[in-house]
Every structure is written in structure tokens, then in C-alpha cells.
Amino acid sequence: MNPLLQKFDTAPFSKIKNSHFKNAIETCIKSAKEEINSITSDNETPTYKNTIEALEYSGMQLKRVTSIFFNLNSAETNDEIQKIAQEISPLLSDFGNDIRLNKVLFEKTKTIYQQKDSLNLSQEQITLLDNQYKMFVRNGANLNKSDKEKLREIDKKASKLSLKFGENILAETNSFELHITDKKQLKGLPEGELEAAMQTAKQKEKTGWLFTLDYPSYVPFMTYIEDRSLREQMSKAFGARAFKNNKYDNQQTVLDIVKLRHERANLLGYKTHSHFVLEERMAENPKKVLSFLNDLLKKAKPAAAREYEQLSTFAKKDGIDILQKWDSGFYSEKLKKELFDLDEEQLKPYFKLENVLNGVFTVANKLYELNFEEIDTIDTYHKDVKTYKVTNNDGDFIAYFYADFFPRKGKRNGAWMTSFKSQWKKDNGNSRPHISIVCNFTKPTETKPSLLTFNEVTTLFHEFGHALHGMLANTTYPSLSGTSVHWDFVELPSQILENWCYEKEALDLFAKHYKTNDPIPMELVQKIKDSSNFLEGMTTLRQLSFGLLDMNWHGGESPQAITSVKEFEKNAFADTKLYPDVAENCMSTAFSHIFQGGYSSGYYSYKWAEVLDADAFEYFKESGIFDKEIARKFKDNVLSKGGTENPMTLYKRFRGKEPNADALLKRAGLLK
């Protein structure tokens, strides 16, 4: 019996075998097709209920099963799961196109769309109708038969290429190890990091110390190792992932994905992939995005150039003539220590993972009256995953929350929020969501708990901000729930929560020494605040370079003419370049956000949302960071509303006005 085809509430991980997935997905596609057929064969006059709502609630079991599968493919994959992913992606792509290219379904939707002004619909109903109508039009409903077939082929190829891109990066990340047996080579590396590297070696049955390209291993190595040649070796290995002309090389994959996206956009009547994507974003078009990025670039570049010069001069004391990329983390940390008398190692004892997690729970309670109770009554896909029942102060069930914190072989790098089940309302019931965050934090060792860097602390708050957006969702329709919002609005809830990490009032709740339980000293809090803008110009320039690279890949009118991924990337980086180029390295071949993660023509949204979050946090600070009334406004107008209305309308209802970019520039220290 296939557990995925039974009725279940939380995902039945312990009962699922890999062999269940394909059968379950094929069966669910068949059922979903029957649901679509019953809509199209209904001879009654099309109504909002029998067409728009019926389509919205169709295929619910398929959505549940695929969300479980693709979450596992990111967090706990193996060869078998990757093989299944390649087999089912074309099936899902075909099924999606069966709906989007269904003439009868489109005509019924169009009939209702043309009557929408006379139907007395709520705002959420109007948004759903608009979305469904655009879903058809933007995916080929008006194409002729042969162009529809072309579109199907493009979508099938693109979904497989995207999977292949991610598999190659994971394989490349897993295949590299730096094995050190002479402790003298590891001068500068803190005791906790040495112990973690020794533990990694032990797990692989090796002596000495083992370093990998997983962030908790890679970042401290690049920050503290004094041996410059070892930093260079590690940096080049990281930068060369999927750029080695071997079987895991992503160069052709990148070119193929970009060409297919462009071809698809042209087929649908759009100039470029960026024009297609941005039509459904707050930014609206590529011109606006480029103007936004270039305006920030103009303001950040002089500061970045000064900072680079400052860092280069500082490194010259050690005889470094030309500052290279592998010097960046090392000398930044040394300079920060000199300027602010602060280094990460001073902070880490105050950021024990369990304390930080309880801290973010307390912040959520003070702002939104949420309570988190750890439970062991629901299944998980790995023993490291923790599960929580979330309730409000009245005891009502709000959500289940999963947290998966440590790196392992089957998990991709980075941090993300996801869900195993959306929220929706139907038949007077409110079906609550199952939300998950996945990170790659420093593991506990035999003598120390997991102690986070400050960067990991802000990452946890960031992903938890996304999780709140999912947990507090309160909409009727699943496709408008939680984080289903315009892509350049989705980072607001995550980025605003990071601000609490810099406030004494919040730090006092959780930043306690893991041995003595003493609160973090006020002077350390002040140093965190003082150093928060340290090298901000360079950091901003780096983010802008990624956004511009993304727009170059997807906003150009002739990607067919691109022959060299590396040369194209160098040209795209020209205006943001600080460090000398490294010939053996390439960013694009490992740029998962845009080639695997849905951020194509959307990477600018991190900066876009920073404008929103800086402006919104300014509002909190006016009345106090735990002000109940402002928190209620943010919850009622942003966190609970999902994609039910235009994001700017929601933002203005919360804030009372449009955002002002000066708040971001002021916070970043870039406003003179």
C-alpha cells in the first residue's frame, strides 16, 4: 500500500520508500486530470464556483506529494531520488501544460473574466480570477497548435536542465575534500573549527583534519587560515564548481537554459525572459530594475572602491601586493578586529543554536503571540530535523514547524524556507500550514554545542521571517497563501526580521554565554551595531553584481550568440569589479538561485526588499521594536494576506505611505 496515496495530515516520512514516489505522482496526475475533465465537461453555464474555484482546489493531493518529493530532493537526496526527479519532471511539465493549454478551460475562464465587474467578487476572488486568466494567457493559451507543441517541448527540456544543474553542483560540492595532517598548516583557525574539522575527518575514517565546500567548513577556513596558498586552493575549488569541463560541468547547461527561456518568451510575444517575468512583479519591467540597480550602484561604488583600497592597504602590511578574492574574508575579519576590537570568535559563545532558536520564538511571541512546543509525534525525513507545534495565546493551532539545521551529504548548500502543506479555507474549515526551514549551520562537536557565527544568527532570523509569512497565512485560496506573493515582495518578511538581531532589547532575550549563561555584554552589542555597516559598500556592490549578472543573462535579446559563459560573465561584472578575475572560476555555473531556484530575473529583489524592510523597520523603531499595534498592522496587512492583493497596496495599508529608499541608504551608511 502506497502511503502517499492514503489520506494523511503531516507527511508520513517513515512509511515512504523512494519507490512510492513515481507511482504516487502518476496516480495523482491521473486523478487531477479527472478533476479537470469534470470541470471542462460540465454543461452548466460557467460560474466562479464551478470553474475558478474548482480549478483552484483541483490536484491538491498531487501538490502535497510533489512538495514532499522536491523538498527531499533538496534536503535529503540520493542517486535514486535524483533519477526519479529526472523521470517525473517531464510528466509534471506535461501535466502543467495540459491545464494551461486546455482550450475549453481557457474559454470558460475567459467567460467569467469578461463578466468580473458584474459578479460582486471579493478582492481575493478578483485576484484569483486575474491570476488564473493570466496563467492561461502567459502560458500559451492564445498560441496556435504547432506553437503550443513547441512550448511543451521547451518546458520539458527546461525542467530537466534545471534539475541537472542542481545535481551537478551537489556532486561537485561533495567530491572536494581538503585533507590536512600537519596542524601547523592550520594556524589561525579557532579551536572549535579545528575540532569540527577533526570530527569530519573521523567520520570519513581519516586522521587529521578534513575541510569541505559546505559553508560551515568553507567560511571559517577562508576567514581564519593564515596560510595564503591554502586559502587560494580552497577558494579556487569553491569557485570552480561545475566549471571544470568534466561530466558535472554546467557551462552548456547554463547556455541551454538561457536560450530555452528566451525562446519561450519570444514564442509568447515577449522581447526577453526578463520582460515576461517582470510583468508580474512590483518592478514591472527590465528598464525599472536596471534603473534601480544602477542607481544603487552609483551610490555604493565610491564607498566600495574606498573600502577595497582600505583593505588593500591593510593587507600590504603582510606583503600582499594585490588583494585577491581568497584574501577577502581573512583581511576583512582582521581589519574588523582592529577597527572595532571585535571578532566572530568573541561572539559565538553567546549564540548557542538552541538559545538563538528560543530567541526567535520569543521574538515571534512578543510580536505575534505565537507559542512553539517541541514535539516528537510527527514524522521527519532525518534524525536531525526538529518539529514544533505552533499555537497562539488562545491555544488555537496555527501550524507545524520543521527545522533542519546541519549540513550533510544529501543536502544542498545554503538556507531556505519551504512548506509541506499550504494554508487554505474551505467548507468553513481553515486548513493550517506545515512549514519548514533548512539551513547549513556549524555542527555541535564532542565538546561544544552548535555555536553560530553572527552571520548564521541573521540567516536563522531571515529564514524564520519567511516561515512566519507561511505560518500566519490566513487566506481562502491555497495559491494566494503565505509566500505566494510577487517575487520582489517575498523577501520583506524575512529581511525585516534580521533587524531584531542588532537590537539590545532582542539580543537580551537569547544572547547568553553557553557556559556561564551570562548575557552578552553591552559593549559587544555596541560593537555589533558599530560594525554593522563595516564594508557595506563592498557588500552592496557584490549583491548588485549578482543582480546585474542575472539581468544580463535573462534580459538580452540574443542569447543564441553567447558562446562563452566565462566571457559573458566577465562583461556583466565589468562595472562592479573590485578583485582581479580568477581564470579557473565562474559564478554562473553554480548560481543556483537563478538557474535552479526560481530567481531568474528576480535576484534584484533582495535589494528591492531591503528598501521595503529598512523603511518598515524605521516604523517599528518609532514606537519600539516590540510595539504590539505596529506588529498587529504588519501581521494583518502583510504576513496573513499572502498574495491576495497588490503588494504595494498591502504595504501602504501597513505603513501609511510608499517606502522611501533613503531609509536603506541611511542604514547602510551610504547616505552622506
| pLDDT of 670 | 81
- The confidence score (pLDDT) of residue 343 equals 85
Which pLDDT value is given to residue 672?
A: 62
Give residue-wise pLDDT tens across range 542-558. Answer: 999 999 999 999 999 89
Cβ count near 386 (within 10 Å): 16
Q: Is the pLDDT of residue 596 over 90?
A: yes
Is a pLDDT exceeding 70 seen at residue 133? yes
Closest by CA to 161, choosing from 251, 272, 76, is 251
**Three cell numbers, residue 287:** 528598464
Percent of the chain surpassing pLDDT 70: 100
> What pLDDT digit, counting tens, does each position of 10-33 carry?
999 999 999 999 999 999 999 999
Q: Break the chain into its structural domains and give their ranges.
A: 3-100+102-138, 176-239
Instruction: Report the C-alpha gap between 53 and 50 in whole angstroms.
Output: 6
**pTM, full prediction:** 0.91
Nearest to 534 by CA among 348, 342, 319: 342
Greatest Cα pair distance in the chain: 82
Residue 89 is classified by DSSP as H
SS3 (DSSP) at 430: strand
pLDDT band at 397 (very low <50, low <70, confident <90, very high): very high
Q: What 8-state DSSP symbol labels residue 641?
A: T
With the C-alpha atoms ordered 64, 65, 70, 76, is the resulting torsion angle positive or negative?
positive
C-alpha cell at 615: 523603511
Per residue in 143-176, pLDDT (tens digit) is: 999 999 999 999 999 999 999 999 999 999 999 9
- β-bridge mates for residue 211, sequence order: 178
pLDDT range class, residue 663, cuts 50, 70, 90: confident
Average pLDDT over residues 568-596: 97
Q: What is the pLDDT of residues 611-644, one digit of tens each?
A: 999 999 999 999 999 999 999 999 999 999 999 9
Q: Which residues are catalytic?
A: 463
Q: How confident is the model at residue 662 (pLDDT cuts 50, 70, 90)?
A: confident
pLDDT band of 669, cuts 50, 70, 90: confident
Residues 472-526 pLDDT 10s: 999 999 999 999 999 889 999 999 999 999 999 999 999 999 999 999 999 999 9
- Under the banding of pLDDT at 50, 70 and 90, the label for residue 94 is very high
Q: What's the distance, Cα to Cα, between the start and end of the chain in Å?
A: 67
* Strand-strand pairing, 434-438 and 397-404: parallel
The 3-state DSSP class for residue 103 equals: helix
Q: Would you state the pLDDT for residue 55?
A: 97
Min mean pLDDT across 222-226, 527-531, 543-547 is at 527-531
Q: What is the mean pLDDT of the chain?
A: 96
- Residue 469 has what pLDDT? 98
pLDDT for the residue 598:
86
pLDDT band at 667 (very low <50, low <70, confident <90, very high): confident
Q: What is the pLDDT of residues 340-370, one digit of tens each?
A: 999 888 999 999 999 999 999 999 999 999 9
CB-neighbour burial class of residue 109 (10 A; exposed 0-12, middle 13-18, buried 19+):
buried
Grid cell locating 430: 481553515
> Which numeric CATH code is attached to 3-100+102-138?
1.20.1050.40
pLDDT at 671: 73
Instruction: Tell me which residue of 357, 296, 364 sits closest to 610, measured CA to CA.
Output: 296
